[in-house]
Amino acid sequence: MAELRITINGASYKALDGMTILDVCRREGIHIPTLCNHPDLQTRGICRICVVDVKGSKTLQAACSTPVEAGMVISTTTDRVRKSRKTIVELLLANHYTDCTVCPKNLNCELQSLANEFGLTDLRWKERRERTIPQDDSSPVFIRDNNKCVLCQRCVRACDEMQGVYAVANLFKGDSMIVGSAFNKPIGEVVCINCGQCVAHCPTGALSEKYCIEDIWKAIDDPKKVVVVQTAPAIRAALGEEFGYPAGTRVTGKMASALRTMGFDYVFDTQFAADLTIMEEGYELLGRLRSALTGGEAPALPMTTSCSPGWIKFQEHFFPELLPNVSTCKSPQQMFGAVVKSFWAGKMGIDPENIVCVSVMPCTAKKFESIRPEMARNGRPDVDYVLTTRELAVMIKQAGIDLHDMKNSTFDNPLGESTGAATIFAASGGVMEAALRTAYEVVTGREVPFKNLDISPVRGMDGVREASIKINGAQKDWSFLEGVELKVLVAHGTANAKKVMNAVREGTMAAHFIEIMTCPGGCLGGGGQPLPGTPEIRLARAKAIYEEDADSPLRKSHENPSVKKLYEDFLGAPNSHLAHELLHTHYTARGQY
């Protein structure tokens, strides 16, 4: 790319051909307010709050969508820039239902910040917008309040570009324009995978998850109930952001203390179930490979992971004929609930009826997963309530706790014990890495041939990543794998998954095992994580996750003593009859219409 020079506010800067004015300003620390712009999404240039003055141009230009040109002279502070930006904020507020103090986005709303930035003291254009459009609460996981929508189309783009679902689009035109679904149907009646990326990309309170905070307080306050909580791996690397810690701060120990202080009876860890998942899923994969390579019944290969409930629903809608390829393993959240209400309840002598299983997830789709009918036993759901990371932060604050004041503590045992392999479930590629660490060792009796167990080819943020590992020295039971090059593939974001699954459908996919995570970067970029979520923040969270793994005394799922004991005392062996009954599931072909 050719280098060129431009002038901004009187100073000369280097720029590259293809950069936008906003790119250069960001790099140079020149503040430009933005709203419809998001680093995860393609540029639309529609809110116009980023307008700047370009010499020679009659009108103002949107910094986000205007490419730099050699010799361009830009001013970001002229009278007409200031006035136009301020008017735009006023226009947005005039058509915004403003109930900030009781809005879920209070103090974390980009429109509120803009109002503050421009020092607005009154609204010239309209006294006050009322709630004229009914809220759409038809989704099982989130609420759309179009009275607060600024039509930035970030949700539309996230759903389309990142997820390939396109559940929402612009409807109508002019002042009637709204964001909605095909034929203006409620979101609950169209194809939606509940991933919450729309919620995570909404700058205002137009989209928010459905809270279950009060139900949980009620359970905690009920002396008859034994309330257990499990926290997903991705929470510990992100919760701190809600309390002002920099992104990537690990708050595992503080979080455990906070949960205990809040009144949860047992503070467990979803990571225990993640290790368990690796055992079940690893053996399932090896079983499928055995069938395929020893001429048994032709199994569905490649096998895909099943941890990510957005991806599961995506598959059910878009690739129903490939559901046999999905691992039958429940997700760690659901395995955990099933173990708590069977094994642990028996061990503790507690009536499962009195156990309330709460999980804290970086995810909105987990809320839907927990209410799927197949995720219950004897009419009792495995998991009773699912909180997002953001909801947990609200609860901690409601309890008068400042995370900074918490001392480090550990999870309760036995369902709080885990390995580094479980921690990395939070990152895209992590399930694959954990599975390979175990599967390779089960087959060969030796550790995976990667330095420090770090299987770096499956790590990173590229949308689709491939790797392979050659099996040498397979033990007797696994001799059919001798010399086999095990091919694996990792994808995140269901738009990427769609490409991958199209290749599977067409029969051009070489991989044996595919990990798919619904959200960017994996669970650490989930729809329930603290806001904002940007590529930079996700990288910081991933770094924290891999550090936590590196610091763990145990880093292979099959070495988790509590998991081993669970098999010895209760389940028997991986993929046993009881394991199947408790830890595996089936799927529903849904189609798109």
Partner 1 sequence: MARKIDVVFSDFQPGSALRAALGMTPTSVIELVTKSKLRGRGGAGFPTGLKWDAARSHRSDDKFIICNADEGEPGTFKDKNILEKQTAKVIEGMAIGAYAIGASKGFIYLRGEYKYLVKDLMKKIEELKSQNLIGKDICREKGFCFDVDIKLGSGSYVCGEETALIESLESKRGEPRNKPPYPAEAGYLGQPTVVNNVETLSFIPHILLNGAEWFQQFGTEKSTGSKLFSVSGDCRKPGIYEFEFGITIRELLKEIDADPDTKAVQIGGASGFCACSDDFDKPICFEGIPTGGSIIVFNKSRSMFMVLKNFVEFFQEESCGQCVPCREGCSRMLEGIEKFEQGRGSSKTINDLLELSTTMSLASKCGFGQSVPNSFRTIASKFKDEILSAGGGEVWRS
Tell me if residue 316 is catalytic. no
Q: Closest distance between partner 1 and the C-beta of residue 103, in Å? A: 20
Tell me if residue 58 is catalytic. no
**The one among 126, 185, 397, 564 contacting partner 1 by CB under 8 A:** 126
Q: Closest CB to partner 1 among 58 and 451?
A: 58
What track of x and - describes contact with partner 1 for positions 8 through 47 (by CB under 8 A)?
-----------------------------------xxxxx
Our CA angle for 568, 571, 577, nearest 5°, is 140
Q: Which residue, 344, 355, 309, 523, is CA-closest to 416? A: 344
Q: Which residue, 281, 268, 261, is CA-closest to 228? A: 268
Q: Closest distance between partner 1 and the C-beta of residue 502, in Å? A: 21
Q: Which residue, 404, 390, 377, 371, is CA-closest to 526? A: 390
Map residue 357 onto helix, strand or coil.
strand
- Of 120-128, 302-310, 504-512, 569-577, which segment contacts partner 1 by CB under 8 A? 120-128
Q: Given the structure tokens 């009187």, which residue do they identify?
A: 10
Q: State how far the Cα of 197 lies from the Cα of 363, in Å rounded to an integer.
A: 9
Q: State how far the Cα of 208 lies from the Cα of 229, in Å rounded to an integer.
A: 23
Q: Closest distance between partner 1 and the C-beta of residue 45, in Å? A: 5
Tokens of 362: 């970086």
Q: Closest distance between partner 1 and the C-beta of residue 241, in Å? A: 29
C-alpha radius of gyration, the chain, whole number? 25
- Alpha carbon of residue 334 to chain centroid: 17
Q: Given the structure tokens 């009914």, which residue do they identify?
A: 134
Q: Closest CB to partner 1 among 170 and 472?
A: 170
- Contacting partner 1 within 144-183 (CB under 8 A): 150-151, 153, 169-170, 172-177
- Contacting partner 1 within 371-410 (CB under 8 A): none
**The one among 9, 95, 261, 291 contacting partner 1 by CB under 8 A:** 95
| H-type alpha helices, 19-102 | 21-27, 79-94
- Of 10-18, 76-84, 325-333, 454-462, which segment contacts partner 1 by CB under 8 A? 76-84
Interaction of residue 88 with partner 1, rule CB under 8 A: yes
Number of residues that bind partner 1 (CB under 8 A): 37
- Of 122-130, 206-214, 300-308, 435-443, which segment contacts partner 1 by CB under 8 A? 122-130
**The one among 51, 115, 187, 386 contacting partner 1 by CB under 8 A:** 51
CB 73 within 8 A of CB 54: yes
Among candidate residues 110, 284, 391, 433, the one labeled active-site is: 284
Q: Is the peptide bond before 414 cis (omega within 30 degrees of 0)?
A: yes
**The one among 38, 48, 330, 465 contacting partner 1 by CB under 8 A:** 48
Q: Closest distance between partner 1 and the C-beta of residue 494, in Å? A: 22
Question: How many CB atoms sit inside 10 A of residue 461's CB?
Answer: 17
Tell me if residue 202 is catalytic. no
**The one among 54, 60, 431, 582 contacting partner 1 by CB under 8 A:** 60
Q: How far from each other are the two terminal CA atoms of the chain, in whole angstroms?
A: 46
Residues written for the chain: 593
Measured N-to-C along each axis, helices 389-398 and 213-221 cross at an angle, to the nearest 10 degrees, of: 50
Q: State how far the Cα of 358 lies from the Cα of 261, in Å rounded to an integer.
A: 15
Tell me if residue 466 is catalytic. no
List, in order, residues 6 or more apart from 370 with CB less than 8 Å away: 333, 334, 337, 359, 381, 382, 383, 384, 385, 386
Q: Closest distance between partner 1 and the C-beta of residue 18, in Å? A: 11
What track of x and - describes contact with partner 1 for positions 180 through 219 (by CB under 8 A)?
----------------------------------------
DSSP state of 101: G
Q: Closest CB to partner 1 among 51 and 339?
A: 51
Question: How many CB atoms sit inside 10 A of residue 36's CB?
Answer: 24
Tell me if residue 366 is catalytic. yes
DSSP state of 324: G
Tell me if residue 284 is catalytic. yes
Interaction of residue 77 with partner 1, rule CB under 8 A: no
Tell me if residue 519 is catalytic. no
Tell me if residue 506 is catalytic. no
Residues marked active site are found at 281, 284, 307, 327, 366, 369, 374, 523
Interface residues with partner 1 (CB under 8 A) are 43-49, 51, 59-60, 62, 65-67, 80, 83-84, 87-88, 91-92, 94-95, 124-126, 150-151, 153, 169-170, 172-177
